[in-house]
Amino acid sequence: MRPERTKLLYLAPALAWIFAMILFPLFYTIGISFFDYTLGGETEFNYGLNYLTAVQDYRLWNGLKVSGVFTVVVVSIEFLLGLGLALLLSGRVRGRRTLRLIMLIPLFACPIAVGYLYLMIFHQRGPVNAFLGLLGFVEMPNWLGDPSLTLFTVGFVDIWGWTSFMFLILLAAIESLPVELYEAAQIDGASGWLKFRKLTFPMLLPTILIALTLRITDAFKIFDIFVGLTKGGPGISTEVYSMYVYRVTLEYFKFGYSGALSVIFLLIMMVAINVLFLFRRLRKW
């Protein structure tokens, strides 16, 4: 057998997987987004009317707002906490191996299980309000029933679960930095802040971009924690974009319209990720 054919033979399983799991669902979703396709009803080509409906859908804009605010806030906090802990535990701290192990525990937790666990913790008669009662509070916050607190509560749970991810990536990047540069800076009498500003942070920027890209993508399409904690309530105050797409698909059975919503989501994420990488090229990191 010719070498060229042998290469194709080895690549065939990977190409088949990409086609079956990525390309076919993608093109199928784009295709049905141009049809009025409801379960049990007739399928009719509607010339892109689904996209016009989506632009005028207030629940779509609500989902984008909730997902956007949630993503910006939690990813920013996770990055700052992860970077701070990575810098702290990369040094000679007593018990750092144990602390590193503890930091990784949330990564092994199932998100939907975490959601139901914190549902009990933040319940009106749960441990959090019981502790506040011991401190002398009379009126207990309704963590999962007050629209002004619910998104904060879910954000706290996400920060607990995903700060470890930021910590792990940034810690690995910090420990791979060349020691010689820091030794030279130490000889020159550079302070800790100066070494971080002139050496550590610039060299970490490519890794930071990758970590932020992964977390922004994952946070914007979050679904499981919201299902476990709020199911989009109260009302639609915590109905993230992915939850709305789920409801349109599997509760309202409007597959054509859900296809349009999915394509819009894909375009938004493509623009966001390309803006990050464009910024990186402009800065020439």
Residue 146 in any domain: the answer is yes
Count of domains for the chain? 1
d(CA 78, CA 163): 5
- The whole domain housing 44 covers 28-283
Residues 276, 281, 285: CA angle, nearest 5 degrees = 100
Residue 18 in any domain: the answer is no
Residue 75 in any domain: the answer is yes
d(CA 168, CA 259): 35
Q: Which pLDDT score is estimated for 107? A: 85
Residue 64 in any domain: the answer is yes
Count of CA atoms in the C-beta half-sphere (13 A) of 235 = 9
d(CA 128, CA 189): 48
Q: Which pLDDT score is estimated for 220? A: 92
Q: Which pLDDT score is estimated for 154? A: 94
Q: Which pLDDT score is estimated for 2? A: 65
Task: Tell me the residue length of the chain.
Answer: 285
Q: Which pLDDT score is estimated for 285? A: 46
d(CA 107, CA 78): 13
Nearby residues of 13 by Cβ (< 8 Å), 6 or more positions away: none
CB 96 within 8 A of CB 86: no
CATH number at residue 95: 1.10.3720.10
Residue 16 in any domain: the answer is no
Bridge partners of residue 251, in order along the sequence: none
Both tokens of 232, joined, read: 């989009």
Residue 15 in any domain: the answer is no
pLDDT truncated to tens, each residue of the chain (285 aa)? Answer: 566 677 778 888 888 888 888 899 999 999 999 999 887 777 889 888 999 999 999 999 999 999 999 999 999 999 999 999 998 888 777 777 888 888 888 888 888 888 889 989 998 888 998 988 888 887 888 898 888 899 999 999 999 999 999 999 999 999 888 888 888 888 878 888 888 888 888 899 889 988 998 999 999 989 989 998 998 988 899 999 999 999 999 998 999 999 999 999 999 988 988 887 787 666 554
Residue 136 in any domain: the answer is yes
Q: Which pLDDT score is estimated for 1? A: 55
pTM of the complete model: 0.88
Residue 14 in any domain: the answer is no
CB 33 within 8 A of CB 262: yes
Helical (H) or strand (E) element with 36 = strand 35-36
